Chains A and B, each alone.
Chain A
Amino acid sequence: MSEKPLKTDEQLIADFQNGNENAFVELVDRYKDRLVNFVYRFLHDMTDAEDMVQETFLKVYKNKHAYREIAKFSTWIYTIAGNLARSELRKRKRRKTYTMSALSFDDNEFTPVDPGKDTEGIVFNSYAGEEIMKAIYALAEPFKTIIILRDIQELSYEDISTILDIPMGTVKSRVNRARLKLQETLSYLKE
């Protein structure tokens, strides 16, 4: 018995555009975890992250014909999810401005650190997973986005360039600056 070759994402979205709803379900299965993982890094809240990923899929469902084969399906869906997550962050920031946060660091708003809390249980080179998550959350938006796309989602420079609609050279230099900023933030948090 030979296994049927797996369809590409692009074949699946084409099937869905032609009315095959099962193709949509297959895409949901392929992307739900990746996207929840992606959006969670922005929002730091699992319920909100799942909600936003649901919104992402609803957008895909409603606007299936907006997808054109010139782009990869993955970059298209990451763009949708990323835009939703970032607009949610902007909303939160506005709310936060009203409530007046006393802690600020450069252009970032800081989430106070709870020392000793390491729920993800990872300690590597003296950095805990939870600490690093807080540091990412505290980064200014362009740095946060690039770190999540490159270092957590591990997307290629080319894909990131498509998703953010910026040149490859800018992607590379921004990744470097974001990492330096993150490392700086971590040192600050540890003090």
Chain B
Amino acid sequence: MQNTDCTFICEQFTEYQENSLSSEIRAQVDTHLASCSACREIFQKLTGVVETLHKLPSLQASTDFTSTLLSRIETLNQETVWQKIYSSSYSRVAGYAIAAGLIVAIGINILIDPISPIKPGVQSNYAGEKINPDPRTESLAEVSDSSANQPADSLTLQNSPINSQNQSMQLVSGKK
């Protein structure tokens, strides 16, 4: 397609093959093809391409295509049913009732056991032995305080803050 004439001729090929050109243009293409080898070559190749395209084997959907599709649709329908139930006014009321019930239940639970996350024993652990209300740990603290008067072997044991804290922890947990 070196010049405009060739370009114009090539643009007519499809209609030329389909026999839908006016006799005037058809004659123009015939004359051109007779004298231009470049366009003739393109036309021949084009004819081959189109014929190959028409002869391409047609593919088929796999045998379980329809059953797979129908089960997908079934799933879809089930989802839609649930969406409808969920969005219907009746179920919204039911939903509110369940939500309200849950809130009431949580509220009652808090009233029955208002300080469950902050039990006194745990508090004393964080604050240290001196605030611990347990009399047994108080007495232990006293022993620790008076450890200066104890013999050396017991001093190391009783004076260790880790040790006494461990003891108070054991006591508190034992009290639970």
Contact = CB atoms under 8 A, between A and B. Distances in A.
Given A54-B72, A172-B14, A180-B13, A122 B57 contact: yes
A50 B53 contact: no
A127 interface: yes
Interface residue SS majority, chain B: helix
Contacts, number: 104
Interface in B1-52: 10-15, 42, 45-52
A122 B55 contact: yes
A187 B16 CA distance: 22
Interface residues of A, number: 42
Contact of A125 (B11, B52, B60): B52
Contact of A176 (B13, B56, B65): B13
14 contacts: A25-B66, A53-B65, A58-B72, A62-B76, A124-B48, A124-B51, A125-B45, A125-B51, A129-B55, A132-B53, A176-B11, A176-B15, A179-B49, A183-B49
Interface of B: 10-15, 42, 45-62, 65-66, 68-70, 72-73, 76
Interface of A: 25, 28-29, 32-33, 35-37, 40, 46, 49-50, 53-54, 57-58, 61-62, 120, 122, 124-127, 129, 132-133, 147, 151-152, 154, 172-173, 175-177, 179-180, 182-183, 186-187
